[in-house]
Amino acid sequence: MTLFPSSHFLYTLFSSTPDYPPLPRFSLLTEGKMFFLIVHMFGEVIFYSYVFDTLKLGFQPIATLFR
């Protein structure tokens, strides 16, 4: 008989062998791919926030198109 019904929870909380699996180890290639995807995503957001103007042959913000 246990004094506290949540003693199993406390045991799993403070035990040296956790019940969850360890985190996967990332290789350098995986970290490089993740970095490339994040940079590519922000690059697309910045690129598509501008529209290529064929008359001026340059970029202008989308907000200036509707003025």
Which helix (H) or strand (E) element contains residue 31?
Answer: helix 28-48
20 vs 31, which has greater pLDDT?
31
Count other C-beta atoms under 10 Å from residue 57's C-beta: 7
- Entry field: residues in the chain: 67
pLDDT digit string (tens) for 47-67? 776 665 555 556 566 665 565
Supply the pTM of this predicted model: 0.39
Domain ranges within the chain, ordered by starting residue = 25-67
